[in-house]
Amino acid sequence: MTSKKFIFRLFSTLTALILLFTVFSCNKQPYSPLTQDNWTYHKSGSENLASNEITCMAKDEQGNIWIGTNYGFSKYDGSTFKSWYEKDGLIYHGITAIAIDKPGNVWLGTPYGVSKFDGSNFTNYNTDNGLGYNDVYSIAIDKQNGIWFGTGHGVSFFDGSNWTTYEKQGGSGLVYNIVRSVLVDQNNHKWFGTEFGVSEFYNGIWTTNLSSDAKANFIFSMFEDKDQNMWFGSLAGVLRKKGTSQQSFNTDNGLVYNQVDAIAQDNQGNMWFGTQLGASKYNGISMKTYNIDNGLASNWITCILVDKQGQIWFGSKNKGISVLKLAQPTE
């Protein structure tokens, strides 16, 4: 082989290798974090969501999302919706509260009693078979799988066999009978947000929490964060409380609106507050407003939930659900 032919073949081989390396390098997609917020939407017209009038949401152990609406309820398994209505056995179509117990039963509050759904069958409860009052605003499950119902006239407790009713009793017991929010904290303390203050119940002892501001006593929502701070949403904004330390947030320091109907915490530690004028995100330093101008389908937020992927779900008054995948924070 002549030296010229050898040089030519060597050059051709090197050129082919360089081209192959270039193609491989161009086709290899490096990992790129999400650099901006991404929104998706769910509505009843295009999917099997029971209604666009969303009232409440809950997440089960498998990550399924259960959605209460004014016209039945739905389950979202990550890809599709399935819905149930009065014709299927639900006690009433207007769902006001939803919670999932340890065996996986779905408890649904309505203005006319409660339905327990085991995935196939419904068991209904009202004042005829133990529930203290039919108009149910909120439901929570304690560590012993006891079910607590906040109603328009006191609190009902069901241990699976027996019912107990708690009502306002002068200076001791429940502070007020209209109970809009119920929460069981990490220490199994029961909290009841009423239209006239907050009651805490533990080991048979009631403690009353009252504010000097009447609007701050009208409680719509409660939440316990990962650091065991308690958050109370009211007509006066939102209050963060831990022990004797507390801090208030309202429109004067960035909250979009003072009536806070929903509270949640995302996987990045941000706090979210749902109102009739949009949602506020609090990152521990400042507030950011989300509304129809930057992603929400509707400003009127009724409930907020964080799914197993860390996406934030916003239920709205009549525009279905907006789902936000947050941009990843930069270093």
- The confidence score (pLDDT) of residue 10 equals 47
Cβ(149)–Cβ(130) under 8 Å?
no
**pTM: predicted TM-score of the whole model, two decimal places:** 0.89
Rounded CA separation 242/231 (Å): 9
Instruction: Kindly list the domain boundaries of the chain, sorted by start residue.
Output: 40-325
Beta pairing, strands 301-306 & 287-290: unpaired
Token readout for 201 is 């119940």
* pLDDT tens sequence across 243-277: 889 999 999 999 999 999 999 999 999 999 999 99
* pLDDT tens sequence across 115-142: 999 999 999 999 999 999 999 999 999 9
How many of the other CB atoms lie within 10 Å of CB of 14? 10
Query: Which CATH number fits the domain 40-325, given the four candidates 2.130.10.10, 1.10.530.10, 3.40.50.720, 3.40.50.1000?
Result: 2.130.10.10
- The confidence score (pLDDT) of residue 189 equals 98
Averaged pLDDT, 280-307: 98
* pLDDT tens sequence across 67-97: 999 999 999 999 999 999 999 999 999 999 9
% of residues, the chain, pLDDT over 70: 89
CA distances from 2 to 9, 10, 11, 79 (A): 11, 12, 14, 66
* pLDDT tens sequence across 304-319: 999 999 999 999 999 9
**Element housing 24 (H / E):** helix 3-27
* pLDDT tens sequence across 127-181: 999 999 999 999 999 999 999 999 999 999 999 999 999 999 876 799 999 999 9
Averaged pLDDT, 198-227: 96
CA distances from 111 to 115, 136, 280 (A): 11, 6, 29
Rounded CA separation 25/38 (Å): 28
